[in-house]
Amino acid sequence: MTRPALKKHVFLASLLVLATHLAFSQTQLPSIFSDNMVLQQQSQVTIWGTDKPNTRVVVKGSWGKEAKTTSDAAGQWRLKLPTPAAGGGPQTLSVTGSTPLTVKNVLLGEVWLCSGQSNMGMTLNGYYNQPVIGSNETILNSKNEQIRMYTQARATSLTPTTEMKGDWQLASPATTGKFSAVAYYFARTVHAQLGVPIGIIHTSWGGSPIEAWMDKESLSGFTIKPIPDTIPKANPHRIPTLLYNAMIHPYAGYTIKGALWYQGEANRENHYEYEAMFSRMVGLWRKQWQQGDFPVYYAQIAPFGYPGTTTAPYLREAQLKCMQSVPRTGMAVTLDLGEEKSIHPAPKEQVGQRLAYWALTKDYNMTGIAFSGPVYKSMEKTANGRMIVRFENASLGLHNYGKPLAEFEIAGEDKVFYPATATINPEVKGQLPGVTVWSDSVKAPVAVRYAFRSWTTASLFDTHGLPASSFRTDDWPHVPPAKQ
């Protein structure tokens, strides 16, 4: 190295050291650890930040617990602080390092991470020309200091980052219009039953595929778009890993109760990989959080009149399989909530409530409520050539609430489906609830489908009003639509 080059190298190195010193010249916390935050109750919550290298850091909660650590050579520090049960009013969090910090109006309660694409991102205000039913009354009556939401701004990164962009907002008419509608209705429902604070970390981006929310390693073996060397200006949210790096990785480790997911529309064309991708994504998040198999509940995509495609029902099928194959997951069916002309269904309250039913039953030990609609279990052929499909999660039977069971189709060995007649079976002790399906056009049936179209409506429910998912009993690839 020449003498001028050596001088330049030394100068740049000095600037880097100076920049590092200036960046970590005082105690700092990520924006998630700020006034109005919610910490998971009865846990060892993880708290982290930066300071001068090799600085003693003490974090103390006003509830009487404290934890100590020392920042490393890069100025990073992380520790775990015990939290008690919710109650006792707002708390404070004191951080003492090279400089003191105090986080005010902290609540202890239940924290959920909410992510996905536009149906998770849709606020109570709705989108332009696309409403959320009942939003005005909801916003009017939303004042509740025990429901708080932190919304991460849209961001992308080619590598995992720690930068956060958001702040905690208390629910009130002035703020909740900008809250995720599904996340808010979930929080409101859970809060009403538990009576404890609910904190929501909302991080979503409309139009994003699942692979955008995963890291490079977890995508190994899947057919995905190449990851570029630079972030494209057009549709960066569609690129694998970019949203995980900037909108999930920064929060990994923030102690949560579980996660909610509402996504799938952007993966219709590679539906055949979705179940495996979802399993990998859940596994990745659980590994990053180091909280074991925390629960993940998700909304199945609703019916919609996608032009020129029949792939949506296969994606809904993949989502149904996710619930059956990935531990500690559950699916809120939205087959009755879709809109043929809008990909953003207006009834968001039901989606949030149905997700809450899973959490209240599985995580908060509530009994006496249904949490899942009927789920297809088995099929059998009768002596007169009819088919009986049977269902789990319908202990009190099935109901159509006055709707004709018009979404059933039946096929023989030729794989041609015809509209079928269907009737709900009477109760028979020792047998699962069933529906008998037949068509005079199919003398030797072998397969049944229900609501297996892009646009369809639900007519099969349990007696609590929760809909059955669309399903099929065959495994034939891309069979043409039924004859009319």
Predicted confidence at residue 482, as pLDDT, reads 52
Residue ending a domain, choose from 309, 330, 362:
362
Predicted confidence at residue 470, as pLDDT, reads 98
d(CA 69, CA 195): 34
Residue 348 resides in a domain: yes
Residue ending a domain, choose from 319, 335, 362:
362
**Residue 440: exposed, middle, or buried by beta-carbon count in 10 A (0-12, 13-18, 19+)?**
exposed
Residue 100 resides in a domain: no
Predicted confidence at residue 12, as pLDDT, reads 45
Contact between 214 and 160 (Cβ < 8 Å): no
Contact between 333 and 373 (Cβ < 8 Å): yes
Residue 24 resides in a domain: no
One domain, residues 113 and 173: yes
**CA neighbor of 332 nearest in space, from 473, 189, 220, 197:** 189
Residue 277 resides in a domain: yes
Cα separations in angstroms, 42 against 140, 254, 257, 285: 32, 14, 11, 21
**CA neighbor of 437 nearest in space, from 429, 452, 373:** 452
Residue 29 resides in a domain: no
One domain, residues 318 and 256: yes
One domain, residues 259 and 149: yes
Contact between 57 and 96 (Cβ < 8 Å): yes
One domain, residues 389 and 293: no
Q: pLDDT tens-digit profile of 380-396? A: 999 898 999 999 999 99
Interior/surface letters 293-307, b for 16+ CB within 10 angstroms, e for the rest: ebbbbbbbbbbbbbe
One domain, residues 436 and 380: yes
One domain, residues 246 and 197: yes
One domain, residues 138 and 116: yes
The range of the structural domain enclosing residue 386 comes to 375-472
d(CA 107, CA 168): 11
**Phi, psi angle pair for 46, to nearest 5°:** -90, 130
One domain, residues 229 and 337: yes
One domain, residues 310 and 385: no
Predicted confidence at residue 14, as pLDDT, reads 45
One domain, residues 163 and 215: yes
Tell me how many domains the chain contains. 2
Predicted confidence at residue 237, as pLDDT, reads 98
Tokens of 430: 């020792």
CA 351 to chain centre: 12
One-letter identity of residue 441: S
Predicted confidence at residue 19, as pLDDT, reads 45
**CA neighbor of 312 nearest in space, from 278, 343, 347, 281:** 343
Residue 87 resides in a domain: no
The residue ranges of the chain whose pLDDT is under 50 are: 5-22, 479-481, 483-484
One domain, residues 143 and 268: yes
One domain, residues 245 and 357: yes
Residue ending a domain, choose from 362, 389, 412:
362
What CATH number is associated with residue 295? Answer: 3.40.50.1110
Residue 315 resides in a domain: yes
pTM: 0.93
Residue 69 resides in a domain: no
d(CA 124, CA 116): 16
Interior/surface letters 353-373, b for 16+ CB within 10 angstroms, e for the rest: bbbbbbbbbbbeebeeebbbb
Predicted confidence at residue 477, as pLDDT, reads 84
d(CA 320, CA 375): 9
d(CA 35, CA 52): 23
